[in-house]
Amino acid sequence: MSGSDRRKLRVLSGVQPSGSLHIGNYLGALVQWRDLQDTYENFFCVVDMHALTVPENVRAAGLREKTLEVAALYLASGIDPARSTVFVQSEVSAHAELAWVLTCVAPLGWLQRMTQFKTKSDAASTVGSGLLTYPALMAADILLYEADQVPVGADQKQHIELARDVAARFNDLFGPTFKLPNPMIPPTGARVMGLDDPAAKMSKSTGEKAPGHAIGLLDPPNVVKKAIMRAVTDTGSELNWAEASPGVKNLVTIFAAITAETPDAVAARYEGRGYGYLKKDLVDVVEAALTPLRARYTELRADPTYLHGVLDAGAERARAVADPVLARAKVAAGLGRAR
Ligand code: TYM
């Protein structure tokens, strides 16, 4: 199907099964995905090949198990396999194949400039080359589905812009082949910060090491409550929104993103009141979202046949879209034999 005869615009997005998913992943990605399912034609993949870019973490976490966990969390968050194609990246081989082609097209300097590469490579003693070429694989994920929009948190914007630039460079070199994608970033909750350190983005890897950093989607209620009640605020005790510290802003933002309000509207209800009220109500708001999610997750994990069926069907649907785009790109790039 070419871009022009499609009925709906397409989205593609993914999460790395590199650790335990947290409320940042939920608000930055999953909630957006859930809410756009009727408007778009949707492809959501579990990007297990991306998780391999830090192989040291993979051994510890058990990647294959995490892949299933993340897929189940997609469904438990409201992704509906009848309306969305849910699949595992490594099961659609076109991703790896196109990633190689795009690695050849992406200038080294573009990859070296990526903030995430710089942060992750600074923190590691040995860096696999895949960590550098990671955005070329991500570009392949997106371009294979001719995605119009890529719904993600703010930290992925730079990678999507790179995917766009790589697509444009490929088109310049080899002729019009790829559609240029756009990032889709939610107005609230696009960058949730750590509860223990509001200067640092909430992250899966820190969450594994530091209790109280993240709100894990599968954390038990008492753990969630403790993390919120102990969240860093500031030396004051009452909410003053005009001068709120990053920690207070973060709590209000999480609240507003879950209840689909603006942070200003939430803050107005707590203005001049002690932080304890905000935190206590935030515990309830988070629990109202996570209780049904955990219940659905438990059901899904109890019936592996259903989940495997969804992922098998998803991979088949994904291949049907990705393979012709890959074939076109290979011809354009001169791969294979002339006939
Ligand atoms: P990943 O696995 O780090 O994160 C998954 C999604 O969650 C968002 N996110 C956040 N949003 C708000 N606050 C936070 N603290 C926070 N932390 C993470 C991310 O922005 C992302 O939307 N490279 C990607 C995965 C990927 C991908 C793709 C995404 C691979 N291929 C193709 C879109 C399209 C990543 O590492 O996301």
Catalytic option among 66, 157, 179, 204: 204
- The rounded Å distance from CA 159 to ligand 1 centre is 10
- CB-side neighbour CA atoms (13 Å) of 161: 11
pLDDT at 322: 98
Protein residue with least CA distance to atom 37, ligand 1: 15
CA distance 118 to 111: 10
How much is the pLDDT for 3? Answer: 46
Given this model, what pLDDT does residue 2 score? 46
Work out which ligand 1 atom sits closest to the CA atom of 155.
20
**Two tokens, residue 246:** 């990053």
Per-residue confidence band for 61, with pLDDT thresholds at 50, 70 and 90: low
Give the whole-angstrom CA distance, residue 290 versus residue 26.
10
Per the annotation, the verdict on 179 as an active-site residue is no
Q: Which of 201, 226, 249, 330 is catalytic?
A: 201
Q: For Cα atoms 307, 308, 312, give the angle at the middle one, nearest 5 degrees.
A: 120
Segment 260-317, tens digit of pLDDT: 999 999 999 999 999 999 999 999 999 999 999 999 999 999 999 999 999 999 999 9
Q: Which residue has the tokens 């594994």?
A: 208
Measured CA angle at 288 (ends 286, 291), to 5 deg: 100
Beta bridge partners of residue 11, listed in sequence order? 42, 149
**204 in active site:** yes
Global pTM? 0.96
The Å distance, Cα 152 to ligand 1 centre, comes to 6
CA of 273 to the centre of ligand 1 (A): 34
Is 167 touching ligand 1 by the criterion CB < 6 Å?
A: no
Neighbours of 299 (CB within 10 A): 13
Q: What percent of the chain has pLDDT over 90?
A: 89
pLDDT tens-digit series, residues 230-243: 999 988 889 999 99
The pLDDT tens digits for 83-105 are 999 999 999 999 999 999 999 99
Ligand 1 nearest-atom number relative to CA 202: 15
- Tokens 């040995």 label which residue? 126
| Closest protein CA for atom 19 of ligand 1 | 153
For residues 300 and 68, what is the distance between their CA atoms, to the nearest angstrom? 10
Report the pLDDT value the prediction gives residue 123, as an integer from 0 to 100.
83
pLDDT in tens, 134-184: 999 999 999 999 999 999 999 999 999 999 999 999 999 999 999 999 999
